[in-house]
Structure 1
Amino acid sequence: MRVVIIGGVAGGMSAATRLRRLSEETEIIVLEKGPYVSFANCGLPYYVSGEISEREELILQTPEQLKRRFNIDVLVETEAVNIDRASKQVTINKQGQEEKLAYDKLILSPGAAPLVPPITGLAEATNVYTLRNVPDVDKITSILAETKPKEAVVIGAGFIGLEMAENLKQSGLAVTIVEAAPQILPPLDKEMAALIENRLKAAGITVYTGAAAQAFKENGRIIELSTGERINSDFTVLSIGVKPVNELAVAAGLATGLKGGIVVNEDYQTNDANIFAVGDAIVVKQQITETDAMISLASPANRQGRQVADVISGVTRKNKGSIGTAIVRVFDLAAASTGLNERQLQEMKMSYKAVHITAKSHAGYFPGSEAITLKLIFDPVNGKIFGAQAVGKDGVDKRIDTLATAIKAGLTVADLPELEFTYAPPFGSAKDPVNMIGYAALNIVEGLSDNIQFYELKNAREAGVLLLDVRNAEELKNNGSIGEDINIPLDELRERLAELPKDKELIVSCQSGQRSYLAERILKNNGFNVKNLDGAFQIYSTVYPEEVNK
């Protein structure tokens, strides 16, 4: 059997090597349009700043190595230009020469290409670049070395955009980020993304949100924004997203769906039984909701490549979909997410609740512990976990990986307190943040607590609800307040209950939400109608710093 694979990165190479491990008889041919296969595209931004110092580290395997070890024929700089489904042949163009290549099974793994919008003046701009492969990073590093630009603009504040912004800043450039959406990092919710935006600004990066690049002037040296502002740029990186590379599939009559992604079944088959597809170019099922999604991440692509090889080899393996789990480093902070965010759940009109906690990466009394802000989104009735987000200096990956596993395993918030983690003071806490947020969510599911989100507070107060702050006077003086109606420190609350009205609803707040929960329980046990401000002052002041009274 001859298997031809179009695309030699991530999904394509995973499929090729797995096929060989399963069979020595299968003939495997990989076609790659570019000059390199099996390269570390996720590491490209870090090569720009020199954090990854050796270019060779980005090249994981060469065609020669793949031939020696796996007996795979890898044809680089070879473009597949046509698929003849009737004759089961691929027309390829290799350095200007066309020839036909027969296949028994065909795997499409063309990946995704940077999205380049029709911005006025973009075609004439001479200083605008995208980053997706090794030739791209070669061009960028060469330009940076030769022209020594001083001002850089990154258009798009997703994961890759922020990685580029950090590494350009580390390279000594003045950096501006332009994001059309109301916030940076769209996979995160507003309050979590605000923590990262504050870190970018603290590093000296200028951030524009709700501002799209509308026109390039003077060959790209001036960028006009939709807000009417004009910014200077010596060097611009477009990082506003990706689109599936689907031209070959469309021309062959293969079905496409959401955003042009190639449609496949649970065996990764297209509407042609002999043609399969994997990676960033395919439509997947969002595993939590079973709805169509485009999830362009390296881990799912590699998994899909391995699974399609199993299917072709006769091993039962099903495409279960993906939940979308990702992380980004922004200087000394990490931001990670898994599953669905609030915006997605609101668009689907799904009922949910969210809780925030602030916890330590390991035992607080042991040196080096760092704060983690952790968010969990869940079904308030059955406790199903919809998603999670975290921001912090240390331990973010561990907690989001755990919660991603919990989602995949079908656990509920009731299971999170039951999870057992290794514990010693340098590594964790006796009650891990994942345990703690499980307790907080379970309190809501079981009716012991009811919370209100930061964006609901203004309307609640306008409706006559009173805000009670249980921080002490010194905290209010040092950190500021958000205009609380009543201030009673937690430790004085039981003795001062008579000062609170029982005929009005109360919202209780503190610094991060822990003491306000304790206050909520005291008040409820004494007959008060009360809700907890989730995330409390810390979250509210991060999103609305202008409303903090000092």
Structure 2
Amino acid sequence: MEANRPTSVLIVGGVAAGMSAAARARRLDEHARITVVERGDHVSFANCGLPYHVGGDIDDADDLIVHTPETLRAALGIDVRTRHEAVALDTVARTLTVRTDAGTRLLHSDALILAPGARAVRPPIPGLDSPRVRTLRTVEDAAALRAAADDGARTALVIGAGFIGVETAESLARRGMDVSLVDTAPHPLPPLDGDIAHHVAAELVRLGVDLRTGTAVARITPGADRDTATLTDGTTVEADMIVLATGTVPDTAVFEDAGIACERGAIVVDEHGRTSAPGAWAVGDAAQATDPVTGARRPVALAGPTNRAGRLVADDIMRPDTARPLPVPIGTAIAQVGDLTVALTGANHRDLAASGTGFHTVHLHPKQHAGYFPGAATIHLAVHFRAGDGRLLGAQAVGADGVDKRIDVLATALRAGLAVGDLIDLDLAYAPPYSQAKDPVNIAGLVGSNVLDGTLRLWHAHDLDAVLAEALVLDVRTRAEYDAGHLDAAMLVPHTELRERVGEIRTATAGRPVRVLCESGVRSNLAHRILAQAGFDSAALSGGMMTLRAALGGRLAAVAH
């Protein structure tokens, strides 16, 4: 036994962070006494798979169970105690009081790891205690919802359009149920930028989901056969089952009461996961992290970072001299929505603007593989990077194929501290069924580099009102594209005619700036170069009409036909 290595490790909470820490601690020390207490019935289960059991993709709930106390004891020699709830902590005596079915017990440890996770937010909605209302946090929750659907429930209301809410709504809709999805945010998956979320919303509607954004549930009225939810916009929704997916908060009250430093409920930790109490570490959904892009301090409830952090906390306990610091999560996430995949990494437009960071955004709509190869599909991609040095800040994408690959590459580049211009040189795999000779990630680098060095000047969908008031809008698409839908104020000059009609455009501007648009941004880039070199105050619409339609949604009808 190495000097100063703890002989006993007590872990509060299992699942991702706790069990990752326990398993790593055992691999590093065969002789330490490792105990895990978990208040639920399952200590190691796939909580990310819960919506898919509800929807029927995962048929047997037992498939969600990764390990049981018996298998953990046999494989790792870990003492796992379920239905043990932490109710008090003495940081001086290093004792934890737990409530069990047989009464309370006092446990002691040399090293304490707090991985209590988070609890579901329960808004103050009258009627929320109806038996038809369930959260989706445990295997039992998923089994109950699945049983209700199997037993004939035909209508469902999902409150909250975050990742769990959207995945649950999609799963139930694919079962053939009538599903309503309600959220106060203006679009589903609020961490997404609006133009990316537009495609998610459209796919949910295509699946038959009754999407209600910008409103909330005011009250729930239980009925004999179904409940009725009254929304703040005055409408009502009837449902046989109601899924509460309004987010989570760190489940840390016991430890905050014990004097462990917390901020807005999240346990404050250092770069190794150490808390303010000697001999105590915290990890997972209940621990605070600092956003590496915006500096915001908040917990990050994502399985990947949580599992990795649990391992590193165990390293700091068992071999502190060589333990690596916990990497700060950059927030990479992905979801399936019908036939689409949506993913993001790093900061979004809203958070960057709120942080005061100077940044640029490029919007692209490349194919996921060679356009001439069958099955080519569009990826809608947005990349944010810092003004000045071009350092990557975030990216989002949605499409039918190839989204996961691109976001994973961009997440790796962001973690490595690369600038947008560095994306040009990434040597990515190419063959016609898989990519293009210039991968969408390479293209993002090319466009971003042009923005940084001034070769390309952009205007954005959110600039539309100012552009219509102050500039000549030049549409450089074909006549057929223009006739199919265009901005009312736009002047049509196809990009192939631009050089011959520069004089006509100069007359039409009457000294005003000219703001160019096309369908996706490619032709307007060409047009901008011609106009800029002819002396015009020119800029091209980032992402073209494809991004403008997605960003404005129904509001586009007021300025276009």
Q: Same fold (TM over 0.5)?
A: yes
Moved more, 5-14 or 47-56: 47-56
The total of aligned residue pairs comes to 545
Give the residue type in structure 2 aligned to 1:260.
G
**What's the counterpart of residue 197 of structure 2?**
193
**What's the counterpart of residue 164 of structure 1?**
168
**Would you say the 8 A contact 1:287–1:320 is kept in 2?**
no
Distance 2:179 2:146 in 1: 16
**Would you say the 8 A contact 1:16–1:28 is kept in 2?**
yes
**Would you say the 8 A contact 2:461–2:552 is kept in 1?**
no
Give the residue type in structure 2 aligned to 1:401.
D
Q: 545, 552, 555: which is aligned to 1:537? A: 545
**Would you say the 8 A contact 1:482–1:537 is kept in 2?**
no
**What's the counterpart of residue 310 of structure 1?**
315
**What's the counterpart of residue 424 of structure 1?**
431
**What's the counterpart of residue 209 of structure 2?**
205
Q: 175, 196, 215: which is aligned to 2:219? A: 215
Structural mapping, 1:13-412, within 5 Å: 13-123=19-129, 125-146=130-151, 148-219=152-223, 221-257=227-263, 259-314=264-319, 315-412=322-419
Give the residue type in structure 2 aligned to 1:428.
S
Q: 5+ unaligned residues in a row in structure 2: which ranges? A: 1-6
**Would you say the 8 A contact 1:380–1:444 is kept in 2?**
no
- SS of corresponding position for 2:190: coil
Structure 1 residue 228, shift from structure 2 partner: 1.7
Structure 2 residue 475 is the aligned partner of structure 1 residue 475: no
Structure 1 residue 500, shift from structure 2 partner: 0.6
| Deviation sequence 1:194-230 (CA, Å, 0-9, x none) | 1110111122111111101111123571111111222
| Deviation sequence 1:236-274 (CA, Å, 0-9, x none) | 1111111101022112111110x3111111121111121
Distance 2:553 2:140 in 1: 43
**What's the counterpart of residue 8 of structure 2?**
2
**What's the counterpart of residue 3 of structure 2?**
none
- SS of corresponding position for 2:66: coil
Distance 1:397 1:430 in 2: 18
**Would you say the 8 A contact 2:482–2:492 is kept in 1?**
no
Structure 1 residue 542, shift from structure 2 partner: 2.3
Structure 1 residue 319, shift from structure 2 partner: 2.2
Q: 445, 448, 461: which is aligned to 1:454? A: 461
Runs (4+) of structure 1 exceeding 4 A deviation are: none
- SS of corresponding position for 1:360: coil
Q: 529, 535, 541: which is aligned to 1:527? A: 535
- SS of corresponding position for 1:60: strand
Structure 1 residue 64, shift from structure 2 partner: 1.1
Structure 1 residue 114, shift from structure 2 partner: 1.2
Moved more, 289-298 or 261-270: 289-298
Distance 1:201 1:290 in 2: 36
Give the residue type in structure 2 aligned to 1:443.
N
**What's the counterpart of residue 488 of structure 1?**
493
Distance 1:247 1:164 in 2: 29
Distance 1:369 1:397 in 2: 16
| Deviation sequence 1:42-80 (CA, Å, 0-9, x none) | 001011121112222211111111111111111111212
Distance 2:66 2:323 in 1: 29
Structure 1 residue 32, shift from structure 2 partner: 0.9
Distance 2:218 2:252 in 1: 27
Distance 2:27 2:337 in 1: 38
**Would you say the 8 A contact 2:61–2:143 is kept in 1?**
no
Percent identity reads 41
Distance 1:269 1:520 in 2: 54
**Would you say the 8 A contact 1:304–1:319 is kept in 2?**
yes
Distance 2:36 2:156 in 1: 37
Structure 1 residue 192, shift from structure 2 partner: 0.8
| Deviation sequence 1:322-363 (CA, Å, 0-9, x none) | 111101110010111111111111111221111100011111
**Would you say the 8 A contact 2:294–2:351 is kept in 1?**
no
Distance 1:184 1:289 in 2: 22
Structure 1 residue 545, shift from structure 2 partner: 4.2
Distance 1:154 1:136 in 2: 14
Q: TM-score, normalised by structure 1?
A: 0.97
**Would you say the 8 A contact 2:332–2:411 is kept in 1?**
yes
- SS of corresponding position for 1:197: helix
CA RMSD after TM alignment:
1.3
Distance 1:543 1:207 in 2: 17
Structure 1 residue 291, shift from structure 2 partner: 3.3
